[in-house]
Amino acid sequence: MTDAVTPELPPDQASSDVDETRLSREISRRRTFAIISHPDAGKTTLTEKLLLYGGAIHLAGSVKARRATRHATSDWMKLEQERGISVTSSVLQFEFMGYQLNLLDTPGHEDFSEDTYRTLVAADSAIMLLDNRRGVEERTRQLFDVCKMRRTPIFTLVNKCDRHGEDPLKLIQDVEADLGIDCYAATWPVFENDVFVGVYDRLKREVHLFERSGDRGATRADDTIVSIDDPQLIEAMGESAFDRLMTDIELLDAAGHTYEHDRVIDGSLTPVFFGSALTNFGIEPFLREFLELAPPPGPRESNLGPVAPERSDFTGFVFKIQANMDPKHRDRVAFLRIVSGHFEAGMQVVHQRTGKPMRLASPQQFMARDRVAIEDAWPGDVIGVMDRGNLRIGDTLGGDGKLEFQGIPRFAPEHFARATPADPMKRKQFDIGLRQLTEEGAAQVFFAETSAGSQPIVGAVGQLQFDVMAFRLEYEYSAPCKFEKMNHRWPRWLTGKPADVERVATGLGRMKVYDHKGHVVVLFQDQWALRRALQHETSVQFHETAP
Ligand code: GDP
């Protein structure tokens, strides 16, 4: 494998001429997005179906078989191994209708971590996938909040419509009430005797009637498309299904929101679609509308103002670092989201934080057996580059060394554990490892004052982060570590007069710790203690993330 820094490579290619027409064409056909959902809503099934439509796989296989062997690794690694398709664990790239799609992995289940949140910072839009019986669930809400904070356009897909679910109108009302976002029903399910037989595309005014294939969604769903104004529609649909659809449309037109593209782009209105990832019904109409309506890569904020993707020189930022868990290959891959310009493998760029030039070689044979290295990439794309510990999450690459993209926010940890070296003789390696892994963004570290000195406390968004930390401390730093999980879970950063902060932080059911910058953070034992403090302690301010 090649390293990110290999100074002996040939001279600078960063300034090679970029064909402007090619650049704008590549930008306009790219859609970089993530799927946000609660476990079991059907993300794996939908991903597989998007690949099926994108022609990346020919037959969608049994999701069940794969679920049985699921471990705490990315689902995609398994997809990759089983199907021999080109996937990194961070991005799935495929084409459909002339568009280049970058589907960013949002680890869920056991591998849910801060990376899941950070990935959303690299996406230009998100698909919010809901189960038609459960609607908005806890994980959906957490991920939605990150999108909302960044005003990411959201496209909602109500899944599993092949089986009886909540009334579609009620579902939409619940989404609006729960998440505070307006909904526009972009497609509407068509039922014939309560069986899901098609969708009506309100924007195109077309009804799609699906044909049952009998292969349980292994191939694309064939459909007949009839205009809503076509007199033959009644016959094609059957009278009762037609009547029910007409009543629903009338209701939607009268009571629902209208489609306003600007509001979709600023994240205040979500188009809602209905379908079944299992049978493929409604997936293609959804995908087509999504590709047309979702934004291509746009400008990104920096210290020098917005950076447009059309800017000719290469710029990008690191949003994820993945350590190789194979002890034989102790290298790491840094994932960059390209913001502007054209990436060519081996190009030299400035690493803003250190001010040093770096040569970017994308990783060869990264994970997949027959993966070809990326030679070429454009704004919106994600590339993995080999790194020996120079890069950190949030780092800017490219530009003139002064440009710095707006940092990736830290997200409040949800789990805490006391960390101690298993071997007291390895205290020094342990401290170094903990510091470096925290800087890299593997987890967050806090400190509690104890009679025996300062006690490190590791905070993580997902449980798996502790296992990864323990593994890496042992194998990369020779410092095996013990984690003792804590009951305290709800962190708040405090600001205010020092005496007030001290008093509030040390109250009953609370624990005072410091973050790596020395800010006081209070951990609450339960939500009740937190709620009580928020209500009564008015002399200090509480912050969900570092102020
Ligand atoms: P994930 O946890 O979000 O990745 O969900 P999966 O894709 O693994 O799906 C969870 C379960 O829901 C599996 O048993 C799927 O077969 C099932 N499922 C997914 N999509 C559909 C659908 O459209 N209809 C029905 N009936 N089941 C579905």
Measured in Å, residue 278 CA sits from the centre of ligand 1 at: 7
Q: How far is CA 14 from CA 30, 301, 358, 363, 398, in A?
A: 22, 22, 11, 18, 9
Range of lowest pLDDT (152-161, 216-225, 333-342, 506-515)? 216-225
Measured in Å, residue 195 CA sits from the centre of ligand 1 at: 18
Q: Which of 354, 355, 361 is nearest to 336 (CA)?
A: 361
Model pTM greater than 0.90?
A: no
Ligand 1 atom, smallest distance to 277 CA = 23
What's the confidence (pLDDT) of residue 368? 36
How much is the average pLDDT of 271-280? Answer: 96
Extract the annotated binding site: 37-44, 105-109, 159-162
The residue written with tokens 């021999």 in the block is 84
Task: Decide if 522 contacts 492 (C-beta within 8 A).
Answer: yes
From 45, 74, 92, the mutation candidate for ligand 1 (largest count of ligand atoms within 8 A of CB) is 45
Nearest CA, atom 14, ligand 1 = 64
Question: What are the sequence ranges of the domains in the chain?
Answer: 5-21+300-398, 31-293, 415-543
- By CB atoms closer than 10 A (0-12, 13-18, 19+), residue 225 is middle
**Backbone phi, psi, residue 35, to 5°:** -105, 125
What's the confidence (pLDDT) of residue 113? 80
The SS3 call for residue 459 is strand
Measured in Å, residue 386 CA sits from the centre of ligand 1 at: 35
* Side chain identity, residue 235: E
CATH of domain 31-293: 3.40.50.300
Nearest CA, atom 17, ligand 1 = 42
Range of lowest pLDDT (56-70, 147-161, 259-273, 371-385)? 56-70
What's the confidence (pLDDT) of residue 14? 43
Measured in Å, residue 436 CA sits from the centre of ligand 1 at: 39
Locate 155 and state its tokens.
């496209």
Q: Does the CA dihedral 241-244-247-248 come out positive or negative?
A: negative
Range of lowest pLDDT (56-65, 94-103, 470-479, 520-529)? 56-65
Measured in Å, residue 44 CA sits from the centre of ligand 1 at: 7
Measured in Å, residue 123 CA sits from the centre of ligand 1 at: 24
Ligand 1 atom, smallest distance to 47 CA = 7
From 92, 130, 278, 283, the mutation candidate for ligand 1 (largest count of ligand atoms within 8 A of CB) is 278
Measured in Å, residue 78 CA sits from the centre of ligand 1 at: 17
What's the confidence (pLDDT) of residue 545? 84
Measured in Å, residue 65 CA sits from the centre of ligand 1 at: 12
Ligand 1 atom, smallest distance to 75 CA = 4
How much is the average pLDDT of 320-334? Answer: 70
CB count in 10 Å sphere of residue 386: 22
Ligand 1 atom, smallest distance to 45 CA = 7
pLDDT band at 63 (very low <50, low <70, confident <90, very high): very low
What burial letters (b/e) apply to 118-127, b meaning 16+ CB within 10 Å? bbbbbbbbbb
Q: Which of 283, 275, 286, 161 is nearest to 220 (CA)?
A: 283
How much is the average pLDDT of 157-168? Answer: 96
Locate 192 and state its tokens.
């014939």
**Could you give the CA distance from residue 102 to residue 166 in angstroms, rounded to a whole number?**
31
**Could you give the CA distance from residue 387 to residue 488 in angstroms, rounded to a whole number?**
35
How much is the average pLDDT of 257-270? Answer: 97
Extract the annotated binding site for GTP: 37-44, 105-109, 159-162
What's the confidence (pLDDT) of residue 241? 92
Task: Decide if 232 contacts 225 (C-beta within 8 A).
Answer: no
Residue partners of 497: CB distance under 8 A and separation at least 6: 539, 540
Ligand 1 atom, smallest distance to 279 CA = 23
Measured in Å, residue 289 CA sits from the centre of ligand 1 at: 22
From 35, 46, 48, 63, the mutation candidate for ligand 1 (largest count of ligand atoms within 8 A of CB) is 63
Provide the CA 56 distance to its chain's centre, in angstroms.
21
How much is the average pLDDT of 221-227? Answer: 85
Nearest CA, atom 2, ligand 1 = 40
What's the confidence (pLDDT) of residue 222? 79
pLDDT tens digits, residue range 237-257? 989 999 999 999 999 999 899
Measured in Å, residue 106 CA sits from the centre of ligand 1 at: 16
Q: Provide the terminal-to-terminal Cα distance of the chain, rounded to the nearest Å.
A: 40
pLDDT tens digits, residue range 187-214? 999 998 889 999 999 999 999 998 876 6
Measured in Å, residue 464 CA sits from the centre of ligand 1 at: 23
What's the confidence (pLDDT) of residue 160? 97
pLDDT band at 66 (very low <50, low <70, confident <90, very high): very low
**Could you give the CA distance from residue 391 to residue 404 in angstroms, rounded to a whole number?**
14
The average confidence (pLDDT) of the chain is 85
Better pLDDT: 372 or 515: 515
- β-bridge mates for residue 384, sequence order: 335
Ligand 1 atom, smallest distance to 38 CA = 3
Task: Decide if 269 contacts 78 (C-beta within 8 A).
Answer: no
**Backbone phi, psi, residue 251, to 5°:** -65, -45
Considering only the top CATH level, what class is 5-21+300-398?
Answer: mainly beta
Better pLDDT: 223 or 23: 23
* Side chain identity, residue 67: R
Ligand 1 pocket, residues with Cβ under 6 angstroms:
37, 39-45, 63, 67, 159-160, 162-163, 276-278
Domain 415-543 part of CATH 3.40.50.2000: no
Looking at the predicted structure, is the pLDDT value of residue 422 above 60? yes
Task: Decide if 298 contacts 310 (C-beta within 8 A).
Answer: no
Ligand 1 atom, smallest distance to 48 CA = 7
Looking at the predicted structure, is the pLDDT value of residue 94 above 50? yes
Ligand 1 atom, smallest distance to 63 CA = 16
Better pLDDT: 366 or 36: 36
Ligand 1 atom, smallest distance to 67 CA = 8
How much is the average pLDDT of 488-501? Answer: 94
How much is the average pLDDT of 291-296? Answer: 97
Nearest CA, atom 10, ligand 1 = 40
Q: Which of 488, 357, 471 is nearest to 417 (CA)?
A: 488
Looking at the predicted structure, is the pLDDT value of residue 411 above 70? yes
Locate 247 and state its tokens.
């009543």
What's the confidence (pLDDT) of residue 373? 60
From 36, 38, 40, the mutation candidate for ligand 1 (largest count of ligand atoms within 8 A of CB) is 40
